[in-house]
Amino acid sequence: MSKFDPYDHLNVSLNENGSLTRYVKLPTSAVNSDSSQAVLSKDVTLSAEKKTWMRIYRPSKLPTSATRLPIILYFHPGGWIQMSVAESIIHESNNRMSAQVPSIVVAVEFRLAPEHRLPAQYEDAMDAIVWVKNQASDQNGDQWIRDHGDLNRCYLYGVSCGSNIVYNTALKLPEMRPQPLKIAGTILNQPFFGGKKRTKSELKLATDPYFPLPVHDLLWELALPVGTERDHRFCNPMADPAVKDKVRNLGKCLVIGFGGDPLLDRQQEFVQLLVERGVQVEARFDDVGFHNIDLIDNRRATAILNFIKEFV
C-alpha cells in the first residue's frame, strides 16, 4: 500500500521558499448589487498593505429605521491554508445567514498560512473589529454599518480554523477596549484545536477519509509559528493556565460539533473548560456527521443556521 501523503490529500505542494502551490480552484461568486435579490453584497478593503478585505452582506429589505441589525463577523474554514469568502460555497452560506437571521455579515478574507503564520490571522480579525467599530463614529463611514448595524449586538462566528481565530481574538478584546462596539456572543462551529497528546476520538478516527490525523499534523505544521509545538496556546487552549483564566471574559458562547469529527473530544473538553470557568455556553453536538459536513449537507447547514438564529 502506498504511503499516505497529506499534501496530496489537500491538493497542495510546498515550494522551496516556504509558500504553497494550491492546485484546486473552487468556483467563485461576484457581489450582488441587484436589490430585487434577497441580499445585497459588496467588497471592502480592510488593509491594502496586508492585502486583506471583507465581503459584506445585508438584506435588501431593511427593517424599520428604529430597528438595527445584528452584525456577524465571519471567519471561514480551510485549515488556515485555503478557501476564500469569494468562493461560491462560502458566499451562498453567508447570503443565507444575512437573509434569514437577518443580519449584516462581515466576512473577513484573512491572510493564509504558511505564507502568513499565526498570529497573522488573529491580527486580521482584530483589524476587522476595529474597522466595524470605526464606521459608527465616522460620518463618512460605511453606510450599511453606520445606519443599519447594531454595535451592541456584534457576534464573532468562525468555522473550523475560523473558530480558532474567533476564540483567540475574543481573548484579546478586554485589552483592546472596542467600545462602543460590544461583542454579544461568540459562535464556534467545529472549532479546530490540537495538542501533543492524541485524544480518543483522534485515535479512533485517525484514518477518517476527509480529515485524517496526518492532515491535522500538516496543517498545524504550516500554521503555527516556526519552532513552536502543539501545546502552544494558539493550538491547545487546555495547556495554558493563563488562557484558562482569560476565558471568563468570553461572554456568551455557542459551540457546535459532530460525532464523526476527530476533533470531537477536544471540542467537548473545551466546552467543559468554559462551563468550569462560569462562561454561559450553549453546546450543540450531533452524534452523526463529520468535520465540515455543513459545507456539503444542506440539512446540516440549515440546522446550524437555526442554532445561530436562536443564539443571536
CB 26 within 8 A of CB 87: yes
Active site residue 137: no
Q: Which three cell numbers stand for residue 40?
A: 445585497
Is 148 noted as a catalytic residue in this protein? no
Let me know if 2 is a catalytic residue: no
Catalytic residue among 124, 142, 208, 261: 261
- Out of 91, 148, 216, 291, the active site residue is 291
Among 93, 98, 103, 160, which one carries the catalytic annotation? 160
C-alpha cell at 148: 443599519
Neighbours of 236 (CB within 10 A): 20
Q: Which residues are known catalytic residues?
A: 160, 261, 291
